[in-house]
Structure 1
Amino acid sequence: MSDLKNPPTTKGGWKDFIAGSFAGMAQVSVGQPLDTIKVRLQVDPLRYKGPMDCLIKTVNQEGPLALYKGMASPLVGIGAVNALLFATYSRLKSIQTSALDEQLPLYKIAIAGAGAGAVNSVLSSPVELLKIKMQAQYGSSKVSIGNNALIYKGPIDCAQHLIREFGIRNGLFRGFWVTVVREIPGYAGFYSGFEFVKRKITPDKGNPNDLPPGKLMIAGAFGGVSYWLCCYPLDVVKSIVQNQHNPPKGLFYVFTTFKMIYKKEGAQAFTRGITPTILRSIPAAGATFTVYELAMRMLQPF
């Protein structure tokens, strides 16, 4: 009897890649404006009094399109990022499955999510680096931005400058390890939170994989909130590391940067920007999971 059971987790990697690509584009399209506010609050806290002040100043000084700065990088790259993420997640679930119709316990879902997050960092780290660099610059001409007075024309121009000045590892892949450290607990919460609610709101003797879009949105939104609650302080560290002009020094820069932020601003620094982040995660993650699940259903016959 397969009620409340997961369908076979080995659905074919190409399906996960296609569904993950659509899910990623939906995520960026829905969440980019609030993500821009989040990043600006994290990397330049003295400029703004809070999320609303950041929103008003950004729109008044740079126009509403400024909220979409850096969108080109994730819109193009997030397809590959989410494709790799969901494909790896499906593969790690299948490795832990002893029967095709087995419903994995939530701790195994979390393990698969953590592993997928670690692998996903290979793509998400440079994509987010370019996004943050674009989001953190103001105006459209050269201005003083901390140690960096350069205005990048776009993500490709940004990547070229970083590689030319610092090389691949310290330029394009700056902040890779802090991304890994963030993604492991983040995606453990992301997938286990989604599955937890998905199963809870499934009717008796129903199948969680047959939920309508509205309920998928609810479960996905919970997964998105869970992601940020599991890793937000590390995201603050990542944003600061990736936005600074010079690459971090030492093998343990995650811990030294964390200590530096705490010493300078206190514990409240690690919640800076969390309000727009949580608000953004509700529709963005809801859209991500809903589009992914619906796309997989459409691809199931193939």
Structure 2
Amino acid sequence: MAAAEPAPAPAASRPAWKDVSYGSAAGIVSKLFEHPLDLTKVRLQSQPLDRAARYSGPWDCIVQTYRNEGVKAFWRGVSMPVAGAMAENATLFVVYNQTQALLQHLYPPSHPSTPSNPAPLSIWQTATAAAVAGAAVSFVLTPVELVKCKMQVSNIAAEGFAASRAAHAVAGAAHAPATRAIPSSFVRPTPAPMPGAISVTRSILREYGVRGLWLGQTGTLIRETGGDAAWFTTFELVSRWFIERRVARGEVSPKDGGRVTKGDLSAFELMTAGAGAGIMYNVVLFPADCIKSTIQTEDELRGKGEVKGPRRGFVQVGRDIYSARGIRGLYNGCGITALRAAPSSALIFYIYSRLEAAFG
């Protein structure tokens, strides 16, 4: 995800494929970078509420994952986010830029726009365009995140099933004749291979149909609408602050001698603005993301063989998390998410802005 130049003409006239290409390149790099921390966040959020917490915090989750599953486990489920990056960014940037163009058509800027001094959108226009783009992209993201989250907690589900079978075996042994031996393969079953993205997707379609791919849509919609508004707006505000600081020092654009633009900002300035935007995106509506992760992994963590009751809604899950673990439960994983978001978002904005400056 990344913000485009706020000039109406470039945003409206730039081919959509450029938005897709720039955003996808930035998105893929960031997904590969952030995925280990995202996996940690999902596992912290998805701990069953009816038993003691498996992880005491982010570091404990990282250590347990490494000890039990090795380094490769930190990229479990990464195929879906990477594959979905193009669809996500295509939707995000095309809708964002087209909404910008529409808003500037409906509400023309108070002073004329020139290539060297583009008229920026107002803050409310930026936030509105970002919220519309976020709402649209939520429908693309939900299936991707659903498969990703199910893959990321598959190890916990497998261990829970193995523990349940072992407990039944021990209980059976207590009532069995002394001469009867229980096969070791029954007490400690060999773990099944972790399912891949295609296998998980087929399982969802088989059990719930196409509609099942949008499980958790409410949480994603709330998070993306508010989060993207905060994300783009924060980046614009911080970028403008850096621009005004340069203008106050008497600097001009080295390209044409005109007013300084975002394309003239340094890597440090762009990445600072991007890092701040990433933190704001996640902190603003983090409970919605926590509830979404719980809903999307509930079937896996319930355990095989358990009777499935009526599926809980968004509000009910939120109440249950709060009742079981208080307000802290709704922010489980927030710290590591912010830690992940700052450099990841900085990379996205830096790569996107540099590609935009280089190729238009």
Specify if TM > 0.5.
Answer: yes
Query: Shift in Å at residue 137 of structure 1?
Result: 1.7
Could you give the per-residue CA deviations for residues 196-248 of structure 1, whole angstroms, max 9, x where no partner exists? 11111121142123322222111111110010111101000010011111697
Amino acid aligned to 1:6: A
- Which residue does 1:256 correspond to in 2? 316
Structure 1 residues 111-260: aligned runs within 5 Å: 111-138=128-155, 142-144=158-160, 152-170=194-212, 172-202=213-243, 203-204=246-247, 205-245=259-299, 249=311, 253-260=313-320
Q: Contact 1:19/1:83 (CA < 8 Å) preserved in 2?
A: no
Structure with larger Rg: 2
- Which residue does 1:79 correspond to in 2? 86
Determine the C-alpha separation between the residues in 1 that align with 2:85 and 2:275.
Answer: 18
Amino acid aligned to 2:34: G
Determine the C-alpha separation between the residues in 2 that align with 1:166 and 1:73.
Answer: 19
Determine the C-alpha separation between the residues in 1 that align with 2:236 and 2:134.
Answer: 16
Higher alpha-carbon deviation: 176-185 or 123-132: 176-185
Structure 1 residues 194 and 107: CA distance shift in structure 2, 3 A = same
Q: Contact 2:8/2:101 (CA < 8 Å) preserved in 1?
A: no
Amino acid aligned to 1:277: T
Amino acid aligned to 1:106: I
Structure 1 residues 41 and 121: CA distance shift in structure 2, 3 A = same
- Which blocks of at least 5 consecutive residues in structure 1 are unaligned? none
Amino acid aligned to 2:319: K
For residue 292 of structure 1, the aligned residue among 327, 344, 352 is 352
Query: Shift in Å at residue 19 of structure 1?
Result: 0.9
With normalisation by structure 2, the TM-score equals 0.76
Q: Contact 1:114/1:184 (CA < 8 Å) preserved in 2?
A: yes
With normalisation by structure 1, the TM-score equals 0.90
Structure 1 residues 167 and 12: CA distance shift in structure 2, 3 A = same
Amino acid aligned to 2:228: Y
Task: Give yes or no for the alignment of 1:282 onto 2:342.
Answer: yes
Q: Contact 1:27/1:287 (CA < 8 Å) preserved in 2?
A: yes
- Which residue does 2:45 correspond to in 1? 42
Q: Contact 1:23/1:79 (CA < 8 Å) preserved in 2?
A: no
Q: How many residues in Structure 1 have an aligned counterpart in Structure 2? A: 292
Q: Contact 2:283/2:334 (CA < 8 Å) preserved in 1?
A: no
Partner SS for 1:89: helix
Task: Give yes or no for the alignment of 1:26 onto 2:29.
Answer: yes
Structure 1 residues 248 and 127: CA distance shift in structure 2, 3 A = farther
Determine the C-alpha separation between the residues in 2 that align with 1:247 and 1:208.
Answer: 53
- Which blocks of at least 5 consecutive residues in structure 2 are unaligned? 165-190, 248-258, 300-307
Task: Give yes or no for the alignment of 1:269 onto 2:329.
Answer: yes
- Which residue does 1:6 correspond to in 2? 7
- Which residue does 1:70 correspond to in 2? 77
Could you give the per-residue CA deviations for residues 128-175 of structure 1, whole angstroms, max 9, x where no partner exists? 111111111217x9432699x9865211110001110111112x2111
Partner SS for 1:201: helix
Determine the C-alpha separation between the residues in 2 that align with 1:5 and 1:34.
Answer: 32
Q: Contact 1:6/1:209 (CA < 8 Å) preserved in 2?
A: no
Higher alpha-carbon deviation: 8-17 or 203-212: 203-212
CA-atom RMSD, angstroms?
Answer: 2.3
Determine the C-alpha separation between the residues in 1 that align with 2:358 and 2:147.
Answer: 33
Higher alpha-carbon deviation: 120-129 or 8-17: 8-17
